[in-house]
Structure 1
Amino acid sequence: MRVAVVDGLSSGRELTRELIAQGAECVHVLSSPTLSTYYLSTFQPADYVVDLGYDEDRTVTAQRLLALGVEHIVAGTESGVRVADELNHLTGLPGNDYALSGARHHKHRMAAALQAAGVDAPRSGTATSVAGAVAWYRGSGLADVVVKPAASATTDRVRVCRNAEEVERAAAGIVGTPNVFGQLDDEVVVQEFLAGREFSVNTITVNGVHQIVESWVYTKTRTADGAPIFDFEEPADLNAPDTHAVHEYVGRALTALGIRTGAGHSEIMLTDRGPLLIDPGARLGGGVLPWVATKFIGHSHAALAATSILEPQQVLRLTGEIPRPWTSPIRYVSLINRADGVVKSLGWLRRLESLPTALAVTTRLEPGDPLPRTTDLISSPGYIYLSAQTPEELRTDYETIRRWEDDGLYAS
């Protein structure tokens, strides 16, 4: 089978590798001519039999894909979701509900679609100006809110705000400025602040049937100006009632958003009033090493996404078998750099690898690279998986990492 991948970047690279490993040929489509270097640097052209690049005329691209014998079109990463939807619509190939495409990448439309389907969602407003964002906040009666781009990824310019001045400052950093994909944002979302435990849930959908692949619980910290920073995450307890409630909610949310096929990555806040979707993703989750999941639970999100395209019945046969518990305690730790600097060497990488529980460390940094203070996922030096026989061993090495970071680990 020939599969077109729109933006085979970041997590899309892992999806393409799995498709090839399972016998597919891949064709590449670029969603935009202005994607950021951060994403473009992950592109591997040798993985594709044809690279169509970018064409602003989607009809021409759709015709070329059909002429190449493409039978399936999928988004590799968040930047490709809208274009994949449009190309599936133009070609008539199987995809998600085109009428709800906007709800799968626009955070305010997401909430509206959920509420229209009777699924609880965060209260939110949208504005195309700083003044409009402030006006919505003042009229909302909310004390704390989250200001974020209407369409982006990671924690790109997300801010927790507690007054109109903070909302104004956060909105000014979004409207008319490039997002993480290098595209100008013309809209800002102001959303009620939700307190609770944050889950990420990875799913695969085949013919409208949703399967949970894995679930994680996030722990985040916050900068002085309200920017959330990923700290660490651990697999959710699959036997816990809270996890069951989150999984049931995710299934209803995916249906409400018109997801009929493919991978999903949903970020859910479990609040006093129940689970609430704060960020949808009709694609794989990013920033992971698929082999780690395969080692501990027997499969990865990327591998099952590829299988759902090539052999969908195999995924349906997993009903009742997934999700599976991890066979050992594991912690995914996001690396946090405390101060601006320059990478002098990769000696810090070897220090992290020497930790007793270190399983794998990933970074894009090279000696001589600028080393910004971590304010979001993009400015993190990388991440490390820790694995051990006991949670106490994980905590010990995690605390060691944070002490080393306080002492300037990455600039040493």
Structure 2
Amino acid sequence: MASLTFVCLETTEFFTRELARVAAVERDQLLLVTAGPPPLEGFPSLVTDARADPAGTAAAIRARCAEAPVAAVLTEREVFLETAAELTELLGVAGNPPEVVRAARDKARMKEIWSAAGVRTPAGRSFRSRAELAPETLTYPVVVKPARGFASCGVRRVDSPAELLEQTKKIALINATLVARESDQDAGLLVEECLDGEEYSVDTVWFDGEPVCEFLLSRGHPGLLAGPYYPDRLYLLQQSLPEERRREVSALARDAVRALGIRSGASHTEVRLRGGVPYVLESSARPGAGGVFYELVRRAHEVDFTRALYLSLVCSDRAELDARLGLVRWRQVPEGASYFWYNLPYRGAGLIEEIAGAEELERREDVLFCVWHKRPGGYLHAYNDLNPDYFCTVVGRHTAAQGGPPLEELVASYDRLIDVGYR
């Protein structure tokens, strides 16, 4: 089989290494396309601003890959999804059309599509500016969020007209800074009814409109589910989840993704319950947690979702995909064991000088690995509802034992261990 090129657009260090691992096994080449200096030494890179000039970037990629044709373009970063879809179309490789990805980046448009298709989702209304709001006409509490936000940035439950107006000022700042760097499209905000039940995420790999493999995570830290903010803090593989609940949540997530028109690659969907009934909140054409959820499942169940995603994008038909992927076998997790992903909070802000406790954290028996998104020399903004940055995410294993700490206490000990020093 001739070697192909798998293009990674602005992928993070962690996910680039994961894709390189798979590409090496499949005897393909990897090309990292980035506007900044290549972040990974030794990786083939093309330095160009794809978001500013998609057509020029596609031409440069094509010229660079004359001997190993491009098979796919992928990013796991929300703000580059539309550009990746444009490059996919320009290069003539398989993937979701730009208009589909564009709709999945706009929460207001998403909700319109789901409502028209009969997919159960919280009632809500979109507004292009706070001037359109009539706060006194709403029934509180409600959840307000940027229509093109990400990483729970700016999302808040508000309980009064005054709180709503205050939060819309913050969302206007997000739209004028973070969102404006991604796109010149009108952003706006979304106001929707507040649900109070359990929350789950569903990650699926798709090929030609059909799921290849899928997993479900439970959003932990019940106290945080009440709001008013909803940071991505703790997710776990909940082995005790009733099978009927699992099927209902997964079925709704699949209906939501299909209604959006996403037919290939990754999808990450968030679902929340009210009175035991699932409602879809959001969906996106990317892996959850920047691909780290995939590695969590590989450690727990020995199922390689990164390889499944890779093959779903490079294989020409389902027969080839099934032959190359093989039978997906899920290893049973030992009874009492729970695998989790934890987003480590931090104190302070500024240029990082040192991270005390990092080595001790990585040596802990319950910690499988850490992904450090910021290191000494990097900058951390103040940790609040406007902060979209991750500092460190931990994948670990908690074993229920008599006298041992519950999971919430275990991850809280990580918070106490790490201390960031600033210059």
- TM-score class normalised by the smaller sequence: 0.7 to 0.9
Residue 19 (structure 2) aligned to one of 5, 16, 20? 16
What is the rounded CA distance, in whole Å, between the counterparts of 2:269 and 2:14 in structure 1? 15
What is the rounded CA distance, in whole Å, between the counterparts of 2:37 and 2:195 in structure 1? 35
Q: What is the Cα deviation at residue 258 of structure 1?
A: 0.6
Residue 233 (structure 2) aligned to one of 224, 231, 234? 231
Residue 314 (structure 2) aligned to one of 292, 300, 310? 310
Change (3 A) 1:66 1:171: same
What is the rounded CA distance, in whole Å, between the counterparts of 1:295 and 1:314 in structure 2? 26
* Equivalences for residues 58-137 of structure 1 within 5 A: 58-67=54-63, 68=65, 69-132=69-132, 134-135=133-134, 137=135
Q: Which amino acid aligns with 1:346?
A: I
> How well do the aligned residues superpose, as a CA RMSD in angstroms?
3.6
What is the rounded CA distance, in whole Å, between the counterparts of 2:13 and 2:142 in structure 1? 30
Change (3 A) 1:127 1:322: farther
The equivalent residue for 1:382 is 392
* Equivalences for residues 270-289 of structure 1 within 5 A: 270-272=273-275, 274-287=277-290, 288=292
Q: Which amino acid aligns with 2:358?
A: L
**Contact 1:153-1:180 at 8 Å conserved across structures:** no
The equivalent residue for 1:155 is 152
Q: What is the Cα deviation at residue 29 of structure 1?
A: 4.1
Deviation per residue, 1:57-107 (Å, 9 max, x gap):
433444444554323233332122112222333444322244433321111
SS in structure 1 of the partner of residue 103 of structure 2 = helix
The equivalent residue for 1:37 is none
What is the rounded CA distance, in whole Å, between the counterparts of 1:42 and 1:194 in structure 2? 43
Change (3 A) 1:366 1:54: closer
**Contact 2:248-2:278 at 8 Å conserved across structures:** yes
The equivalent residue for 1:332 is 341
What is the rounded CA distance, in whole Å, between the counterparts of 1:42 and 1:166 in structure 2? 43
- Report whether the alignment pairs 1:47 with 2:11: no
How many correspondences in the alignment? 400
**Contact 2:122-2:192 at 8 Å conserved across structures:** yes
Q: Which amino acid aligns with 2:112?
A: A
The equivalent residue for 1:208 is 209
What is the rounded CA distance, in whole Å, between the counterparts of 2:297 and 2:410 in structure 1? 24
**Contact 1:15-1:305 at 8 Å conserved across structures:** no
What is the rounded CA distance, in whole Å, between the counterparts of 1:85 and 1:404 in structure 2? 38
The equivalent residue for 2:190 is 189
Deviation per residue, 1:105-144 (Å, 9 max, x gap):
1111111111222211222222222222x32x444x3312
Q: What is the Cα deviation at residue 248 of structure 1?
A: 0.9
The equivalent residue for 1:247 is 250
**Contact 2:101-2:285 at 8 Å conserved across structures:** no
What is the rounded CA distance, in whole Å, between the counterparts of 2:71 and 2:380 in structure 1? 43
Q: Structure 1 residues 366-375 or 207-216, which shifts more?
A: 366-375
Q: Structure 1 residues 390-399 or 149-158, which shifts more?
A: 390-399
SS in structure 2 of the partner of residue 23 of structure 1 = coil
> TM-score, normalized by length of structure 1?
0.82
SS in structure 1 of the partner of residue 289 of structure 2 = coil
Structure 1 unaligned runs (5+)?
34-39
Change (3 A) 1:7 1:239: same
Deviation per residue, 1:266-325 (Å, 9 max, x gap):
111122262222221101122527544323211233222112223454654779946665
What is the rounded CA distance, in whole Å, between the counterparts of 1:339 and 1:109 in structure 2? 37
Change (3 A) 1:338 1:262: same
SS in structure 2 of the partner of residue 252 of structure 1 = helix
